[in-house]
Chains A and B, each alone.
Chain A
């Protein structure tokens, strides 16, 4: 052991070949792939919450009782991690010393690594609005948040949801299905403004309103007051249009940001997230970053972006593991893709869904039927898409974009009828 003889590190220091920090989908995928490609190396997985590794994506389904808590676990098999000879430990990382390849944990111990992978994810943004520290105000991010929301969101409860972005909309469905009296407040001019264009985002709003949800767009919450004398609706939500909405529960879904605080002094290059190259390496060659905390190359334009989505997390985890064991593997870049079920209306978007310079479009819209399809082309390739109200074979959009498939004559046919996307795919990619 080369640990300096300070009081704190006088405990035995452990050395691992691989240390993965963060037990979400990215971290779990990374340790599984590390074991696949290195049967011998010691692996430590560190999780920040006192839970088995679980999926935040499954939380809405727990809120509506479709699954229990154990249904949110990332891996259902018992002893999954011991069976892989992966040690799983609950701790928070306080500090990284890249020069000596050590991390310091909140229990005072330090751990030495040969390769380190940071999968520390993101956390919800708390907007600078007075009154958010009161009882009855929750994010919907962790299992613990979910337990509290289940307590508070009883049938008929007055609930205000701040934010109708992607996560907000997923929670929206769960809250509505719990039978609460729901009001949604979004400062953008439509729902999911970073996933759908104005036509589609407005369509979603109208759908939700027809389902009995009150939706305010282009509206800000200015403060949360306490509602004196009230035992049920203890909160009063002030909107910038002058309205005051009594609430039993306020759920804050105002976006997320990468967890970077513990990196102070580490010397790692960061921006919105930890900057990584096409091998998912950070500015230190022995340290990798993946998932919501990583800012890596985008598939289409190569700029480094944070794509905080499940498919990117697992792709990152798999490819970082290959590089960590020495199988140099280039990552072709992540693509934004989302699927959202809003009270039965399903919407998806992929890649450059909002177009870019010199893009051609194909658009078809049926307002009354809640159907919308918009494709974006660069030359004769598909580069982005959004679709509301249709799900069959939707994955071929990813196939066409990531396969950079030349559409040839099909581009004009798609401009006439974008719903021919599957026919175009079969003709161009599978023939």
Chain B
């Protein structure tokens, strides 16, 4: 059973431990600006929303890549950027309608959530259980995916 990240914004306190853990895991530094999961703060509503890639099955990023640099991890289902193949053209960053693959000027490549090979650092770091890693079928990401279908460029015609 593939698992996916499930985010429960109501439980998020905005502590950004997930961002720190993510940047440490991937870049070896505590730098929220490098994190592939970001916490958006709606101060006037007192609301915090952690946000990252849903590993959507449509994989706009993968389809748009001109060099085939985005592959799928067979075990986790994560869409993973190959740093050796990515040329840094950034087309994926405008093709992904969720805005969850981003250009990193330091490396000259793009970066996105790769589910940490099945053991996501953000999940371990979250003190309130706002980010959990559970069976894909049970996550609210299906809702996001159905929204994704609305923006898909090809919708099946009704017979």
The answer to whether A and B interact is yes
Residues of A in contact with B (beta carbons under 8 Å apart): 25, 29, 55, 57-58, 61, 66-67, 71-77, 310-311, 314-315, 318-319, 322, 327-334, 337-339, 341, 344, 346, 348, 350, 391-399, 402-403, 422-423, 425-427, 429-430
Q: Can you show 6 pairs from A to B with CB atoms below 8 A apart?
A: A315-B63, A392-B102, A395-B98, A403-B151, A426-B40, A427-B42
Contacts A58-B67, A394-B94: A322 and B99 contacting too (C-beta < 8 A)?
Answer: no
Q: Which of A61, A77, A398, A429 has the most CB of B within 10 A?
A: A398
Type the 1/0 row for B49-66, where 1 means its CB is closer than 8 Å to any CB of A. Answer: 101000000001001101
**Main secondary structure on A side of the interface with B:** mixed
> In the complex, what residues of A have CB within 8 A of residue B42's CB?
423, 427
Whole-angstrom CA separation of A334 from B153 in the bound complex: 8
| Seed contacts A74-B68, A348-B94, A430-B147; 20 additional CB < 8 Å A-B pairs | A61-B87, A71-B85, A71-B87, A74-B66, A76-B68, A310-B64, A311-B64, A315-B154, A319-B153, A322-B154, A341-B88, A344-B105, A393-B38, A393-B99, A394-B93, A395-B93, A395-B94, A395-B100, A396-B99, A402-B97
Contacts A395-B93, A430-B144: A332 and B153 contacting too (C-beta < 8 A)?
Answer: yes
B residues 86-125 near A (Cβ < 8 Å) are 87-91, 93-103, 105, 108
B155 at the interface (CB under 8 A from A): yes
Contacts A58-B89, A76-B67, A425-B99: A399 and B151 contacting too (C-beta < 8 A)?
Answer: yes
> In the complex, what residues of B have CB within 8 A of residue A341's CB?
88, 90
B28 at the interface (CB under 8 A from A): no
A403 and B97 contacting across the interface, CB-CB below 8 Å: yes
Q: Report, nearest first, the 8 A-B pairs whose CB atoms are least far apart.
A: A399-B97, A393-B99, A396-B99, A55-B66, A61-B87, A395-B96, A395-B99, A319-B154
> In the complex, what residues of A have CB within 8 A of residue B154's CB?
315, 318-319, 322, 329-332
Closest to A338 in B: B94
Contacts A25-B66, A426-B49: A61 and B153 contacting too (C-beta < 8 A)?
Answer: no
